[in-house]
């Protein structure tokens, strides 16, 4: 497997079977990535949002990167909904209301993107997060990938 990124076989990722039939990135897409790239993580959102309120956050890339997966946490069981846009205001990902972060991804079970997302040097990802709880909710969303 020289030069390719290893991901576990689909049968290990039982938690994604209900979310999508394609619950792993395409190996052909991963093989296109430069094998010299190193693991990289950055915050797409980190903050506390008031009861049933909305907040925004912007990440500006200081280096070229490839996003492979997302992980999230929420301090309230009601969860949150999220939208992510790129520099050109095009919708990248939209996460419907998430009563628990298990469908979004956790550090133990990441939400793998079907196709690696290329974030160019100076590129931006803007997030819009909606707190679905009736109380203040501490939310963190992290992108994992390579740079």
Q: Which domains does the chain have, with CATH numbers?
A: 10-146 (2.60.120.380)
Nearest-angstrom CA–CA distance, 128 and 140: 12
Cβ atoms of residues 131 and 75 within 8 Å? no
The percentage of the chain sitting over the pLDDT mark of 70, rounded to a whole number, equals 73
Higher pLDDT, 61 or 21: 61
Predicted local confidence at residue 104, as pLDDT:
63
Pull the structure tokens for residue 56: 């925004």
How far apart, in Å, are the Cα atoms of 92 and each of 45, 49, 59, 116, 137?
15, 22, 14, 12, 24
Record the tokens describing residue 101, joined without a space: 């972060």
Q: What is the pLDDT of residue 22?
A: 43
């Amino acid at each position: 497997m020289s030069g390719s990124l290893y991901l576990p076989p689909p049968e290990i990722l039982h938690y994604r079977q209900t979310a999508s039939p394609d619950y792993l990135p395409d190996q052909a897409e991963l093989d296109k990535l430069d094998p010299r790239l190193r693991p990289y993580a950055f915050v797409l959102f980190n903050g506390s949002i008031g009861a049933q309120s909305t907040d925004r956050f912007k990440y500006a890339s200081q280096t070229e990167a490839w996003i492979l997966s997302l992980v999230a946490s929420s301090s309230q069981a009601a969860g949150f909904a999220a939208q992510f846009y790129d520099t050109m205001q095009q919708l990248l990902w939209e996460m419907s209301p998430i009563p628990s972060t298990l469908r979004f991804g956790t550090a133990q079970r990441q939400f793998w993107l079907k196709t690696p997302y290329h974030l160019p040097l100076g590129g931006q990802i803007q997030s819009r997060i909606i707190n679905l709880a009736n109380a203040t909710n501490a939310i963190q969303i992290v992108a994992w990938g390579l740079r």
